[in-house]
Amino acid sequence: MIEYFQILCGITIVLLYLYYHHTSNYDFWKKRNIPGPAPTILFGNLKEIAFKKESMSESVKRLYDEFKHEPLFGIFEATTPTLIVNDLDLIKDVLVKDFPIFADRGLPYYKKVEPLAEHLFFLESERWKPLRAKLSPTFTSGKLKEMFPLIIDCAQHLEEYLDKMIEKQEPIECRELAAKFTTDVIGSCVFGIVTNALSDENSEFREMGRRFLAPCFRTTVRTAIRQFFPRLYVLIGNYIQAVGVSEFFINMVSDTMRYRKKNNIHRPDFINTLMELREHPEKLPTVELTDEFLTAQALVLFIAGFETSSTTISHTLYELAQNHEIQDKLQKEIKQHDEKYGKTLTYDQIKGMKYLEKVFKETLRKYPILPMLPREALKNYTFNGTKITIPKGTKVWIPAFPIHRDPNIYPDPDRFDPERFTEEAVANRHPMSFLAFGDGPRICIGARFANYQVKLGIITILRNHKVDVCKETIIPFKQEPQALLLSLQGGITLKITKM
């Protein structure tokens, strides 16, 4: 009997310790007189995400809507205090004016179980800043003009593939169609290799992209444990990673660099930039340029480049299929361009297509890839015009998705309206009201590349084709809660016909 009592006491002590450990910090915001919702043990204010009842975008928007009249409010990500900044002027302070204080994204990475997580998106500012300076020249206008013929070549393959699909007279899953195109583009422009995603249904590159990001049980478990139980993740993370992805990319990048060096091959792509870094390690004294580190930089561009752009292309098609007057107007601009310049596109000509730019931005307004922009305070910080001070190490979120869907900023926000991005309309809004690529020094490094990749994909599809909804099209839009990035649950299936 005594033994059972001792066991019961032991269990009680352990449970009390766990309860204290998970709740002792839950008065963090109350002590600082910062409003916010009451947290739930273990999950803080993100329980719906943990149980996949909501996507990250939906959860952040729900919280934003509850406290939108506050300049900022506090939540808990599990047990971690996180400040959400609503006020656009304060957002500008965080992203731009006081950037040195918020130069870190504050996103943890676990090198032991994620050998390719040590990349530009996650890196702390001390290593991020010199690395960004060395990688940025890859995405200048001059470099993109050099890459442009590579993207044009992939666009021609996209048109050929699309025509073959249309011959089957079946609805087309546009997210996969766009992903095949962007995989080929990124494969060519980043890695300098032909991935054959459009021509080969068994393309290894495309399969690796699916393994890394496709919603599935493994991805769901990995994401939940990583976010809410990081200590457990460090212990078991090796067993729940996407199978074979790290090994594939490490071998591919290493083999490509070795082959190019041996045969004195030069291409205007990202691998060439990485080779130049390896040849001159003294230019990055704070960074150890291992195969894993170099591959991580290529991998993040591959994943971000193909997935974000393909999602934006498919979301554009989804909206155009429901808004024929917008589709007709865009096709008219494409036709006028062809009549003036011929069907051979150039970098500068796409830059001059004004209505396409409006459609592109309205798609990203309604469907931003990231629901929020994370930052971390590198020292104690008092927000301008307030008495609110946060201590060093506090996590900060900028709620991009809720801002893009705020009716006070964008009236009737669920309506797709490219005219929101006329020069006059943009000038009348706060500069922080559009955050599709972030802002400030840590703005997306590949924003300009994504701009042209997406636009070229849209032009290629719409130039000779019409896009319509069909019985398989899911309306209204319902977010996939298991996806890492904003996407439609069930995919985007449309009817595409030749004009």
Examine the pLDDT at 16 and tell me if it is beyond 60: no
Which tens digits make up the pLDDT trace of 356-368? Answer: 999 999 999 999 9
Taking CA atoms, 246 is separated from 115, 318, 415, in Å, by: 7, 33, 41
* CA gap 276, 261 in Å, rounded: 11
Q: Which range in 15-19, 96-100, 222-226, 366-370 is most confidently predicted, on average pLDDT?
A: 96-100
75 and 140 housed in the same domain: no
Instruction: Please give the residue that has the higher pLDDT: either 218 or 306.
Output: 306
Mean pLDDT of 83-95: 98
**Choice among 104-108, 110-114, 186-190, 453-457 with the minimum mean pLDDT:** 110-114
Find, among 372, 369, 393, the residue nearest to 106 by Cα: 393
- The most confident of the ranges 14-18, 24-28, 465-469 is 465-469
User: Where does the pLDDT of residue 486 fall: very low under 50, low under 70, confident under 90, or very high at 90 and above?
Assistant: confident
Are residues 198 and 69 part of one domain?
A: no
Confidence band, pLDDT 50/70/90 cuts, at residue 289: confident
Higher pLDDT, residue 436 or 303: 436
Decide: 81 and 65 in contact? Cβ < 8 Å. no
Higher pLDDT, 425 or 265: 425
CB neighbours of 76 closer than 8 A, spacing ≥ 6? 25, 26, 28, 39, 44, 45, 46, 82
Helix (H) or strand (E) holding 348: helix 347-351
* Residue indicated by tokens 């200590």: 231
% of the chain beyond a pLDDT of 90: 55
The answer to whether residue 152 scores a pLDDT higher than 90 is yes
DSSP 399: -
63 within 8 A of 45, measured Cβ to Cβ: yes
Q: Give mean pLDDT, residues 322-326.
A: 98
Widest distance between CA atoms in the chain: 93
Checking if the pLDDT of 64 tops 90, the result is yes
Q: Greater confidence, 324 or 293? A: 324
* One domain, residues 346 and 375: no
Given pLDDT bands bounded at 50, 70 and 90, which one contains residue 225? confident
Write the pLDDT tens digit of every residue in 20-38. Answer: 556 678 899 999 999 999 9
Cβ contact 155:147 at 8 Å: no
Angstrom distances, CA of residue 294 to CA of 273, 287, 303: 10, 10, 15
Tell me the whole-structure pTM to 2 decimals.
0.91
Domain presence at residue 24: no
Instruction: Decide: helix, strand or coil at residue 429.
Output: coil
Q: d(Cα 462, Cα 330) in Å, to the nearest integer?
A: 8
260, 389: one domain: no
Residue 479 or residue 390, greater confidence: 390
Write out the two tokens for 344: 């051979």
Average pLDDT of the chain, as a whole number: 89
Question: How many other β-carbons are positioned within 10 Å of the β-carbon of residue 384?
Answer: 13
Give the tokens for residue 325: 């007057």
Instruction: State whether 388 and 475 are in the same domain.
Output: no
Q: For 262-266, 321-325, 406-410, which range has the lowest pLDDT when averaged over its residues?
A: 262-266
Residues near 140 by Cβ (< 8 Å), separated by ≥ 6? none
Q: What was the pLDDT predicted at 61? A: 97
Q: Do 196 and 331 belong together in one domain? A: yes
pLDDT for res 4: 65
Judgement on whether residues 220 and 298 belong to the same structural domain of the protein: yes
What's the confidence (pLDDT) of residue 321?
98
Position 287 confidence tier, pLDDT thresholds 50, 70, 90: confident
Q: What is the pLDDT of residues 95-125, one digit of tens each?
A: 999 999 999 999 887 777 787 888 889 899 9
- Domain containing 465 — which CATH number? 1.10.630.10
pLDDT in tens, 366-397: 999 899 999 999 999 999 999 999 999 999 99
**Domains identified in the chain, total number:** 2
- Asked whether residue 423 falls in the same domain as residue 440, the answer is no
pLDDT at residue 138 above 90? no
Q: Are residues 210 and 228 in contact, defined by beta-carbon separation less than 8 angstroms? A: no
Residues 276/145, Cβ–Cβ less than 8 Å: no
Residue 339 located in a structural domain:
yes
Of the two residues 217 and 31, the one the predictor is more confident about is 31
Whether residue 137 is found in the same domain as residue 284? yes
444 annotated ligand binder: yes
Q: What is the pLDDT of residue 284?
A: 84
- Dihedral sign (CA 461, 463, 466, 467): positive
Identify the residue with better confidence: 353 or 18.
353
Identify whether 11 is part of a domain: no
Contact 148, 269 (CB under 8 A): no
What pLDDT does residue 386 have?
Answer: 93
- Domain that residue 137 falls in: 118-365+436-498
Task: Determine the average pLDDT of the residues in 457-478.
Answer: 95
455 and 489 co-located in one domain: yes
* pLDDT for the residue numbered 431: 97
User: Edge-to-edge strands of the sheet including 172-173?
Assistant: 172-173, 493-498, 465-468
3-state secondary structure of 352: coil
* 351 and 453 together in one domain: yes
Statement to judge: residues 349 and 376 lie in one domain: no
